[in-house]
Structure 1
């Protein structure tokens, strides 16, 4: 599969040769390594995005600024031999969201600093999302207010790119409902965005950008975030149903500049993902699934080490995660509900994967290092792999490299996306 550039996606769709790009939304070093290695092997675009809460000029919940995040990606890329020309860095939901408990002017001032930090560091795919209300405002804002704030942020991005040099940014506008990261409850159905609402979003943004002297910036808007009718909750997934989006697809006929960007495509699998790309959603964002399968592999190795090595203990990585999440419940307590037993399994196995917020802690990193050190070079019998990680049988009966197992498991999910993005491979 050859590299596909973001600004080619609309043309390829119009020509009947749809191709897609996977947007990897994760800051976990192993996920990043898997993505960059896979990109090098396939000679395909590696689009890696950070969210406003995860990475910002004040550090975000990862503690990383945009410069820190870009440096991490580039360091791993060099180690993996992934050419810089394949890598695109993106900023997701860039707007006032992290500061929405403040008055709008304060929140927007921080958002401007954040956007400048992203663009000056080399991020060139910018999702402008100022749709959320700030202190004293409605939860969701109208298109006019949202577009004025998006234009204000675009002006900062344009100026920052000109100062930094290099390519000018491409933009994505719009947002999706429910919020990013998965829903907190069991879902039965999700309605796609109404075509009229999508058209209005584009029309209002185009007009307000033009009024602000940002017409050239708007010409580089490539994508519109809409809801295609896919989502995942804590314990179920709503799969894509292309029969529900006939009206929405017509928007791309009226607005050939654009493609759709699909958020929360995690856990869909190759067939629904392929249909999404064919139907005008060539930018497929995935995040929680990748750290979910990473956790799956880590827990399998934890169980294997417990069964194989007398001195390792009984699932100490699991125990370390449970202790940390109970001690610091802020990242999961508002999202998981039920009995103590139900919340216990949700903490570890929920599809929303809020456990991902805890991997960077010192005590967990030490538990992972101990696990990998205990298994490195060990020969794992085939029956033991079949018990805990059946698909990993190729790692049996040979000295084990635990990190390669983890990268293999993440790559299995990335391969589903890669297959979908290469529709027809024209």
Structure 2
């Protein structure tokens, strides 16, 4: 697994060449498989990331340790025929976030163990994020404290990684999992704040005795002015981000953009041109997957009218296990129902690995088998796929239509980073 593609981003920019890479933040097998297939067709590397809540040394909500996740992803790569040499694994928001209910000393001890696990498992891209205040911390946490804790975690990664990793610093984004409500009036990170973050972190690396590792900081997470809430998307505004973009020549790294889900193809291209060398996407991909699954569910209502519905199974599951949505979705019962199934934040993604959900999806796909779905039903319920079906580019089967939905959501990111395919 090479990090050359990441190390080359900033030097290329300084020599006048715009380079970027999409970051796929998902543990769903269909999303990961579609990502490998897209990268293979393009001849590009692939960057796949796991978050601290999703995967950690205690299992996270996926039940996977970093070593487990690595094996899981490599297994999908093998099926897709993707050379592991082109795979970069990343750890996102690595810090005390999963354990902020504990005192700082205990939470950071767990964070150190987690980072050690990521490093030992060969995750070559480490996003250091100790910005979350723990139980006995002042709120907000002082920037100097954040920088010192980040450097402490970087020292752990340096000690445990088989080869030196690259780092991401900065945290001007919502906590892992996304915004909790409608987002309005985002202000991009100021140039002063971005420069101060880089300076503080450089000093903290030096104080921790790992000054040389700062040369491997390839990205600074800043807020470009993009975000999505449950029901709205804040679009990228290049003019509003002008102050931030202006200081890029003063930095030894590029910017990393989080929460770029649902941005238009033009906005993604603009972000890349403006110096955002890493575009992270996650919920937008499983949102596309859910749309396709529900489209197939509606088609099944027509073809197999007496069979159970996937959406009903998901509704029952989420009501029985509200942990992943209850504090995020508010309003009337009808509004909460709408958000459970259709929210941009896509918190339904946390349920697809539940045995009940897995069985419901498997049952839906089994009903279709390898049958060709009638074209009028594809037009009605999976309209985005219809042009490719009519041109003979896409099989009329449920698995093909499901993967194609994710591939369409991926395409703008690969186009923005590598150029449109002719």
User: TM-score if structure 2 supplies the norm length?
Assistant: 0.95
Deviations 1:295-330 (A, max 9, x none): 0000101111111124434xx110000000001111
Deviation at 1:150, TM superposition (A): 0.8
The answer on 1:362 being equivalent to 2:358 is no
The 8 Å contact of residues 47 and 89 in structure 2, kept in 1 or not, is answered as yes
1:218 aligns with 2:214: yes
- In structure 2, the residue matched to 1:258 is 253
Once the two structures are TM-superposed, the CA of residue 204 in structure 1 deviates from its matched residue by: 0.9
Q: Any idea what the Cα deviations from partners look like across 1:187-231, whole Å, max 9, x if unmatched?
A: 232100111111111111111211221111111111100000000
Report if the CA contact (8 A) 2:257-2:280 is conserved: yes
- 2:296 is aligned with 1:301: yes
What are the superposed Cα offsets for residues 97-133 of structure 1, whole Å, 9 maximum, x if unpaired?
A: 1011101010011001100100101100000001111
- Give me the whole-angstrom Cα distance separating, in 2, the residues matched to 1:54 and 1:350: 20
Q: Quote how far apart the aligned CAs of 1:4 are.
A: 7.4
Mean Cα deviation higher: 152-161 or 135-144: 135-144
1:203 corresponds to which of 193, 199, 204: 199
RMSD: 1.7
Cα distance in 2 for partners of 1:405, 1:139 equals: 47
Once the 2 structures are TM-superposed, how far is the Cα of residue 383 of structure 1 from its aligned partner? Answer: 1.2
Q: Distance in 1 between matches of 2:85 and 2:370?
A: 35
The equivalent of 1:322 in structure 2 is 315
Structure 1 segment 287-298 matched on structure 2, within 5 A: 287-298=282-293
Structure 1 residue 331: deviation in Å?
0.7
Q: Secondary structure at the match of 2:8?
A: helix
> Aligned equivalents of 1:423 and 1:16: distance in 2?
16
What residue in structure 2 maps to residue 374 of structure 1?
367
Aligned position for 2:37: 37
Of 259, 266, 274, 1:271 maps to 266
Q: Describe how 1:7-406 pairs up with structure 2 within 5 A.
A: 7-161=7-161, 165=162, 167-255=163-251, 257-313=252-308, 316-393=309-386, 394-395=388-389, 400-406=396-402
Task: Quickly say closer, same or farther: Cα 1:85–1:303, change in 2 above 3 A.
Answer: same
Stretches of structure 1 lacking an aligned partner (at least 5 in a row): none
| Preserved contact between residue 4 and residue 44 of structure 1 (Cα < 8 Å) | no
Superposed CA deviations along residues 262-297 of structure 1, whole A, max 9, x for unmatched, are 000000021000000000101000000000000000
CA distance in 1: counterparts of 2:24 and 2:122, whole angstroms: 17
Deviations 1:334-387 (A, max 9, x none): 111111111111100000000001000111111111111111222222111111
Distance 1:139 1:177, change over 3 A: farther
For the Cα contact (< 8 Å) 2:52–2:94, is it kept in 1? Answer: yes
For residues 225 and 97 of structure 2, what CA distance do their matches in structure 1 show?
23
Query: 1: CA distance between counterparts of 2:81 and 2:174?
Result: 38
Task: Report the 3-state secondary structure (helix = DSSP H, G, I; strand = E; otherwise coil) of the residue aligned with 1:126.
Answer: strand
CA 1:319–1:16 in 2, change beyond 3 Å: closer, same or farther?
A: same
* Structure 1 position 24, deviation (Å): 0.3
Looking at structure 1, the residues matched to 58 and 316 of structure 2 have their Cα atoms a distance apart, in angstroms, of 28
**Could you tell me whether the CA contact under 8 Å between 1:375 and 1:400 is conserved in 2?**
no
Structure 1 residue 15, shift from structure 2 partner: 2.3
Of 8-17 and 288-297, the range deviating more from structure 2: 8-17
Q: d(CA) in 1 for partners of 2:336 and 2:181?
A: 13
Judging changes above 3 Å, is the alpha-carbon distance between structure 1 residues 280 and 423 closer, same or farther for their aligned structure 2 residues? Answer: farther
Q: Confirm or deny: 8 A CA contact 1:190 1:229 kept in the other structure.
A: yes
| SS of aligned partner of 1:131 | coil
Could you tell me whether the CA contact under 8 Å between 2:148 and 2:204 is conserved in 1? yes
- Normalising by the residue count of structure 1, what TM-score does the alignment of the two structures yield? 0.94
CA distance in 2, matches of 1:213, 1:399: 56
